[in-house]
A and B are shown apart, each in its own frame.
Chain A
Amino acid sequence: GAGVSQSPSNKVTEKGKDVELRCDPISGHTALYWYRQSLGQGLEFLIYFQGNSAPDKSGLPSDRFSAERTGGSVSTLTIQRTQQEDSAVYLCASSFKIIGLAKNIQYFGAGTRLSVL
């Protein structure tokens, strides 16, 4: 596709359930980022992937949050035992990186709006 694709666009779940959010980056983009956009906290970094590895997971708020990336492409963010404070818009971004020279223009998806009841 032409841009970063995220699914689902909206997700309503009950407290305690697990959810999976998907991100399909722009083809050829090796760097992938997850961010969270919430009313109280603004836009926060969650995790960064370079290829399939995640050298920076510093933004994940708790061990209920995990993410993986396969084939250097699609990424899945999983939230286990969801809580009401997890309600937010989860954004994915990708960028094209040349080793030794960062071209850090991040292209964002439309986001997944998660509502935990």
Chain B
Amino acid sequence: AQRVTQPEKLLSVFKGAPVELKCNYSYSGSPELFWYVQYSRQRLQLLLRHISRESIKGFTADLNKGETSFHLKKPFAQEEDSAMYYCALSVNAGGTSYGKLTFGQGTILTVHP
């Protein structure tokens, strides 16, 4: 079975500092990896996905299959980045992609002024 681990429940940085939210996964096949974000009093929303290889709001994440990691990084954190971040994984099941997401426990990021 697949598993997603986010080792940090809480992460605090100061505005302008670099930030890295760690995510490790276990799955023997080729998963699809996502980062979802939940800002205060807002719904869960997609931040980025590994197949897009894009930067959203200054965040990037690279899939490292050797280390089975998908860490989220931003070089200069902003106060508005404060939120709950979830790493999630989706797999193909028998050739049919049901697409259900397996989530990590989440990391609460606080960016101090």
Give me the interface of A with B, judged by CB distance under 8 Å.
3, 31, 33, 35, 42-45, 48, 50, 55-56, 59, 91, 95, 97, 102, 104-111
Contact = CB atoms under 8 A, between A and B. Distances in A.
A108 B98 contact: no
B43 A105 contact: no
B97 interface: yes
Nearest to B106: A42
A43 B103 contact: yes
A97 B99 contact: yes
Contacts of A59: 100
B56 interface: no
A55 B97 CA distance: 11
A45 B102 contact: yes
Given A55-B98, A102-B99, A108 B32 contact: no
Given A110-B43, A111-B43, A105 B103 contact: no
Interface string B69-113: 000000000000000001010100100111111111110000000
A76 B79 CA distance: 38
Given A43-B86, A106-B46, A95 B99 contact: yes
Given A42-B104, A108-B44, 17 more contacts: A31-B99, A33-B100, A35-B103, A43-B103, A48-B99, A55-B98, A56-B93, A56-B98, A59-B100, A97-B99, A102-B97, A104-B99, A106-B46, A107-B45, A108-B45, A109-B43, A110-B43
Contact of A48 (B43, B88, B98): B98
Interface in B32-88: 32, 43-46, 49, 86, 88
Contacts of A109: 43
